[in-house]
Structure 1
Amino acid sequence: MLKGSLSHYSPLSQLMMSLLVVVGSFMLCMFAGSVLAYLIFDVNIFTDATSLDINGASVNISVLKFYQSIYSTGMFIIPPFIIAWLLNNKVLTYLFLDKKSSPPQYLLAILTIIVALPAINLLADINSHLQLPEFLSEVEEWMRHSEDQAEIITKKFLVMETPFDLFVNLILIAVIPALGEELLFRGVIQRIFSNMTKNVHWGIIITAFLFAALHMQFFGLIPRMAMGILFGYLLVWTKSLWVPILAHLINNGMAVCMSYFINKGKLPEDIEKFGGNDASIWISGFISMIILTLLLFNLYRSRERQSE
């Protein structure tokens, strides 16, 4: 019986096994996705790779969104359940999905994400001005090019004309990443690195770095790592993965909704850069950090009260 049979493996072995599961699941899902794309969209990426070129004249955004959903499902959502099944007799317990937090904790998580926006924008502004040493100039140029490409993809994905387009993007950009990335990074990887280092704080930090690095956007590394650390502590302090999932969902969902209403002329364009578009960036950023610290302390104390 394979269920729970690998629980005695060392954390390093569990990590290697997890990577194999992720790669295997990703490849199988992408193959299945390619077949489905041919049947649904009449697109064969094996003979027409330009159909997935974001800068190509014949690019089909619907196909790209379809592949994005397949990619996210195959890499983030399916593997954690397989890994948990191999490592523990109770899958939901291993992934911290069997415990629901109290309503005040969910509310605090939502407030935390909203309050953190100016601080995250401040970190993003600082990150955008960082420069690598001269001997790494070619690497920096490649990073900036990758950043520009990612921005192009994001802008094209966020073109929404109807409420249905908004709904699709909320599923694709908010729901799936929030569920999948938290399952894999906080549910599996953070636990493994915490066991490997025998320190929960190092587990959170290492996982947050990997979470940020996965996005392949160097000039957004610091704010994404900060968000990863925040999600990590939300899990540790509440013992429920539903809390960071909700926080992640609110963060991504707000970005999608703001983009939709900005395009509709219902919101000012600079609202997305609240606290990060003028001289007030430092003031709003520090105020955000102070309030954020108070909210997190309150959340930390709520954990202590529950354990009493």
Structure 2
Amino acid sequence: MQNILKNTDEGDSTPWMLLLILGGYVLAALFLFSFIAQGLIMLLFNYDVQESLGILTNPYGSESAKLPLMIIQAVTSIGAFIVVPLFFIKVNLKGRYAPFFNFPEQALRPILMTVVILFCFMVANSVVIEWNQNVDMPDIFSWFENWAQSKEAQLEKLTEYLTTFSGIHEYLIALVVIALIPAVGEELLFRGLIQNLFGKAFNNPHVAIWLSAIIFGIFHFQFYGVVPRIFLGALFGYLYYWSGYLSLAMVGHFINNGLTLTLLYFSQIKFINYNPAEADSSPPLYVVGIFFLAGAVLLYLFRNLFPEKNA
């Protein structure tokens, strides 16, 4: 990893204390900025309190609820995943922002490799996605399984609602809210801060990468998608660790989310015949194997682009 914490001043705080402080900031921001977002849509759309709360509890009754819901998600995500980490860097670490956003001097090749690696990973990870979606819990955990299935159904309904585009303007809004903001914010939080702090706590980058990835997967509250998301988080972690540039993990995160949205939009305007939301199964295993091997080779080549980081 690019040791972006090496020039910071943590005072007497240990990495564990800083992680607790950061977690407290994030939880507080999720509540605070959700209230700010509610107030904002009340102001922008002339909603009363009941109408504003109805956007969250039952947004599906009206197409007009989509934009307010996007605004709520954008404001909350910016607050919790961008404002909080930047505040933490400046106040708690007394650090600079630039090391978190730098690109390599010769950026084109690693960016293109990141894009292709993510495409290969998405195909290979489809097997894990299919397996995770069909996990059966033991009877003793039936209460949890029922809750998880109910939550998953709600999230699927919400995702379908937000990603059914009436025009290119809704696609572009979704690209910003669902792809760009999470790519910057979640990588800044989970890899830029949490992974680095775990790295200092354990003095082991691999433990830091996988612990951060597990937290990243659990944080999305999707049991039937947690395992592939953990692998995705680990991939972002290694892209960052091997290159030393958090910006490349941000690019990868954006490609992962943005490509799915783009395929959905192209399907809806009949530009392509493939709809990722309707894919019932993963590709044949030999196809998955080819993309897995291609991704592994590309990761090896990607790592070798930065020999000074991996000596």
TM-score (norm 1): 0.90
Deviation at 1:297, TM superposition (A): 0.5
Is the alpha carbon distance of 1:133 and 1:124 closer, same or farther for their aligned partners in structure 2, counting shifts above 3 Å?
same
Matched with 2:300 is: 297
Q: What are the within-5 Å matches in structure 2 for residues 124-139 of structure 1?
A: 124-139=129-144
Deviation at 1:48, TM superposition (A): 5.5
- Cα distance change on mapping 1:52 and 1:233 into 2, 3 Å: same
Alpha-carbon shift at residue 79 of structure 1 (Å): 0.9
User: Which residue of the partner structure matches residue 249 of structure 1?
Assistant: 254
1:31 corresponds to 2:44:
no
Tell me the equivalent position of 1:217.
222
- Matched residues in 2 for 1:87 and 1:264: separation? 48
Paired residues of 2:303 and 2:310 also in contact (CA < 8 A): no
* One-letter identity of the residue aligned with 1:14: L
Amino acid at match of 1:295: L
* Residue identity opposite 1:303 in structure 2: F
**Does residue 44 of structure 2 align to residue 54 of structure 1?**
no
Q: Which residue of 2 aligns with 1:9?
A: 13
Separation in structure 1 between the aligned mates of residue 267 and residue 73 of structure 2, nearest angstrom? 24
Task: Find out whether 1:143 has 2:132 as its counterpart.
Answer: no
Paired position in structure 1 for 2:101: 97
When residues 160 and 193 of structure 1 are mapped into structure 2, their CA distance, relative to the original with a 3 A threshold, is same
TM-score (norm 2): 0.90
Report the equivalent of 1:70: 75
Equivalents in 1 of 2:223, 2:309: separation in Å?
Answer: 39
Query: 2:41 touches 2:47 (CA, 8 Å); kept in 1?
Result: yes
Amino acid at match of 1:57: G
Q: Which residue of 2 aligns with 1:42?
A: 46
* C-alpha RMSD of matched pairs (Å): 2.3
Matched residue pairs, number? 303
Distance in 2 of aligned mates of 1:189 and 1:122: 28
Unaligned runs of 5+ residues in structure 2 are 1-6
Per-residue CA deviation, residues 163-200 of structure 1 (Å, 9 max, x unaligned), is 11111111111111111111110111111112222211
Equivalent positions of 1:138-287 (< 5 A) are 138-270=143-275, 277=281, 280-287=283-290
Give the Å deviation of 1:86: 2.8
Cα displacement (A) at 1:284: 1.7
Give the secondary structure class of the aligned counterpart of 1:304: coil
Percent of residue pairs bearing the same amino acid type: 25
Q: How many Å separate the matches in 1 of 2:172 and 2:8?
A: 38
Report SS of the residue matched to 1:13. Answer: helix
Q: 1:233 to 1:264 in 2, by over 3 A?
A: same
Answer yes or no: is the 8 Å Cα contact 1:127–1:219 preserved in 2: yes
Q: For 2:271 and 2:291, how far apart are their aligned partners in 1?
A: 25
Inter-CA distance 300–51: structure 2 relative to 1 (3 Å threshold): closer
| Structure 2 Cα separation of the partners of residues 307 and 283 of structure 1 | 32
Deviation of 1:96 (Å):
2.8
Q: Secondary structure at the match of 1:15?
A: helix
Any idea what the Cα deviations from partners look like across 1:134-185, whole Å, max 9, x if unmatched?
A: 1001101111111111110000001112111111111111111111111110
Letter in 1 for 2:268: N
Distance in 1 of aligned mates of 2:235 and 2:105: 17
- Do the aligned partners of 1:101 and 1:238 also contact (CA within 8 Å) in 2? no
> In the alignment, residue 100 of structure 1 is paired with which amino acid?
P
What is the rounded CA distance, in whole Å, between the counterparts of 2:271 and 2:124 in structure 1? 25
* 1: CA distance, partners of 2:114 / 2:278: 21
Letter in structure 2 aligned against 1:298? L
Amino acid at match of 2:148: M
Matched letter for residue 96 of structure 1: F
Deviation track 1:64-106 (CA, whole Å, cap 9, x = no partner) reads 111011111111111111111134343225x532453532111
Looking at structure 1, the residues matched to 261 and 290 of structure 2 have their Cα atoms a distance apart, in angstroms, of: 25
